[in-house]
A = this chain, B = another copy of it.
C-alpha cells in the first residue's frame, strides 16, 4: 500500500479525533437531530442508493428496500435512546459519614464516550451494517465519531452513502470528522486503522480469519483497545421428534427457505440441523432435502465469497464421515443449495466442521440421544443463535437441551428461523467466541450503544461538573 493511502487514513482519524471531545460532550438534541437527519436523508436518496447497491450486490431491490427501511428505523431508534437520556445515565451515591467500609465519599458514576471508533463494514448488509448501519448509529449515539472502513464488495454505495451523510453534517453545522471513510481493499489499510493511536475502539462484522487478524492487531497495540468483533456462527437448529411428527413437512419448507435466504449470506443462517434418532427425524431430512434442492439462489455478494463457499463445500465433501444428502442441481444465477449429514460423534471429533460455510449449505447432525445432542451443542461452544423446535413442555430432555443452548448462544429461539434479527431493547446479537470477541455485548439492538461508553466515577465532584448535564 502506498504512503498516500495511509496518509488518507491518518487524515480521517485526525479529523475524528478533533471532533471527539465536542461530540462526547454534545447534548441530547444535537445527537438525536443528527441521527434523525441521517435517517431522513437515507430515505430521500433511497432510489438512487438502491440502484447502486443492486448493481454491486445482486441482493434484489425488495430486500434492499427493506434494508434501507431497517437502517433508517435503527437510526431513529438510537435517536430515541439519546432523547431518553440513555448515554447520559448516572448512578449517584451520597456521602455517608463515618469510617469505611460504611463511611464513604460522594460518588457519581457517569458514562464517558470512548473516542473515535474504527468500524469495519459487513459485505452482506450494504446498508444496515455498513456506512450508516447499526455500529455507526450506536457509536454516534454514544458520543463517538466513526471512521468507516468501506467493504470492497460495495465501494460505490459506501462512497454515495458517505456523501449523503456528509451533506447532513454540513447542513447541521457539525464537524465533517464525525464520519470518516477509508476506502480500498488492502489488508494493510485495516491493520493501520486498528493500530492507529487515536482510534479508541473497533467494531467489526465479517470473516473469522479477517476479524481474528484485526483483533490480534488491536491486542498488539502498545495500549490495547476494546474490539467488538462478530466473526462467524453456525447457528444450530435442534428439532425434537414430536414437533417433526406434527409439522415436519411445513417446518422443512420454512427451514429450506431460511437456509437459502439471501443466498445463505446471513450471520444467522442455520448451518447445522441437529436431530435425534427417530423415524420422524428421518422423514424430516427427506422433506428438507426435497424442499431445499430445487430452490434458486441469486449470485453471491463477491467472487471471493463465491470461491469461499465452493471451498467450504469441497471441504465438507472431503471430510471423513460427511455424506451429501442429494446431488445438487446445476448452479443457476447463484450456487445450488447443498445439504450434508454426519453422525454426532464424527462431528464432535472434527473441530474444523464448526467453521461457518458462508452460503446456502447446511449439515444435518444425527444424534443417538439427548446426551449426544447436548455434547454437540457443547462442542459448538459459541454461536449467535440456537433454535429449539418442540420445546413447548418442560421435561428433563427440554430443560437439559435448553441449558446447553443458553450456554453457547446469544439468542435462543423457540419458534421460527434465526434469519431476521429484530432491533429492540431485549435483542442480543453476540455470543461466546467465535460468535463475538466480546460476548457480553451486542451489535444489534439498542444496548449496542453501551459498547462505546465507559463508566467514570466522579468523587466529591464540585457543582459545576455535575451540572454540566447535556
User: B-contacting residues of A (Cβ < 8 Å)?
Assistant: 21, 25, 66, 69-70, 73-74, 91-93, 99-102, 104-105, 107-109, 112, 115, 216, 219, 222-226, 351, 381-382, 391-394, 402-403, 406-407, 409-416, 420, 422-428, 430, 432-434, 437-440, 442, 445, 447, 450-451, 453-462, 464-465, 468
Contacts and interface: CB of A to CB of B under 8 A. Distances in A.
Contact of A92 (B115, B426, B468): B426
A465 B406 CA distance: 11
A71 B425 CA distance: 36
Question: Of A73, A108, A112, which is in contact with the most chain B CB atoms at under 10 Å from its CB?
Answer: A112
A414 B459 CA distance: 6
A457 B410 contact: yes
A430 B381 CA distance: 29
Given A407-B112, A458-B414, A223 B440 contact: no
Contacts of A420: 100
A460 B93 contact: no
Given A392-B462, A416-B460, 10 more contacts: A66-B99, A93-B426, A93-B427, A115-B407, A223-B382, A225-B432, A427-B457, A430-B455, A440-B451, A442-B455
B424 A104 contact: yes
B422 A440 contact: no
23 contacts: A21-B403, A25-B403, A66-B101, A69-B101, A91-B426, A104-B423, A105-B422, A107-B427, A112-B407, A115-B407, A216-B219, A223-B434, A392-B462, A393-B462, A394-B464, A412-B459, A415-B459, A416-B459, A426-B457, A427-B457, A428-B457, A430-B455, A432-B454
Question: Of A420, A453, A464, which is in contact with the most chain B CB atoms at under 10 Å from its CB?
Answer: A464
Contacts of A439: 226, 454
B93 A410 contact: no
Contacts of A223: 381-382, 432-434
Contacts of A442: 455
Contacts of A458: 411-412, 414
Nearest to A71: B101
A90 to B, nearest CB: 8
A456 B104 contact: no
A229 B92 CA distance: 26
A158 to B, nearest CB: 22
Nearest to A107: B426
B414 A461 contact: yes
Contact of A411 (B73, B403, B457): B457
A48 to B, nearest CB: 21
Contact of A104 (B104, B382, B422, B460): B422
Nearest to A418: B459
B74 A411 contact: no
A424 B93 contact: yes
Contacts of A423: 101, 104
Query: Top 7 closest A-B pairs, CB basis?
Result: A104-B422, A109-B426, A73-B101, A428-B457, A394-B464, A107-B426, A93-B426
